[in-house]
Amino acid sequence: MSEIKIRRVGRMPAWQRVPTHLILAACALSGVLYFVRHELRIELPGLSGHGVLVAHGMSSAFALLVFGAILPGHLRAAWIAKRNRASGITMIVVMSALMLSGLLLYYGSEEIRDGVVLTHWIVGFSAFAVFALHLVLGRRAPRSAASATE
């Protein structure tokens, strides 16, 4: 007889969750490394400033891809179930602010660059706390028998 697993509403399957977390971690790590190297001017052996920035730009493109990929399933299911809405909305706001500020860093005018850089750093570092909170709140949420799968 098969074992019945009770899953949380909106929980992504492992095949989607693991790459999503790895991609977001790569984007976050490359952002921190760039901050350390560029803003704090700390030399990192074996890492060039340009190489770290390229890694951050590439991983951010994939982060946007996974962000868009989770919206139809993960977000929709949790929204309908009225679960984890506040931290979910905060995640959307943070990701959208990072996306907009990243685009402005690339395409924006020089007049706004300093403010955009500061905004990107602040929002980027706050994303660590927001994402961790979203994960913790999601794991603490009660399991739903309605989402049981065999």
Per-residue confidence (pLDDT) for residue 82, from 0 to 100: 85
3-class secondary structure, 98: helix
86: which residues sit within 8 A by CB, 6+ positions away?
none
**What are the boundaries of each domain within the chain?**
13-74, 84-140
The residues that bridge with 13 in the sheet, in sequence order, are none
Assess contact for 6 and 148: CB atoms under 8 A.
yes
Mean pLDDT over 107-117 rounds to: 96
**pLDDT tier at 125, thresholds 50, 70, 90:** very high
- At residue 28's C-alpha, the angle toward residues 26 and 33, to 5°, is 90
pTM for the structure as a whole: 0.81
Strand partners, 149: 5
Write down the mean pLDDT value for the chain: 86
Q: Which of 2-11, 48-57, 62-71 has the lowest mean pLDDT?
A: 2-11
Q: 9-23, 60-74, 117-131: which range is least confident on average?
A: 9-23
* Average pLDDT value for residue range 52-68: 95
Cα–Cα distance for residue pair 24/128, rounded to 1 Å: 10
Radius of gyration for the chain, computed over Cα atoms and rounded to the nearest angstrom: 18
* Structure confidence at residue 112 (pLDDT): 97
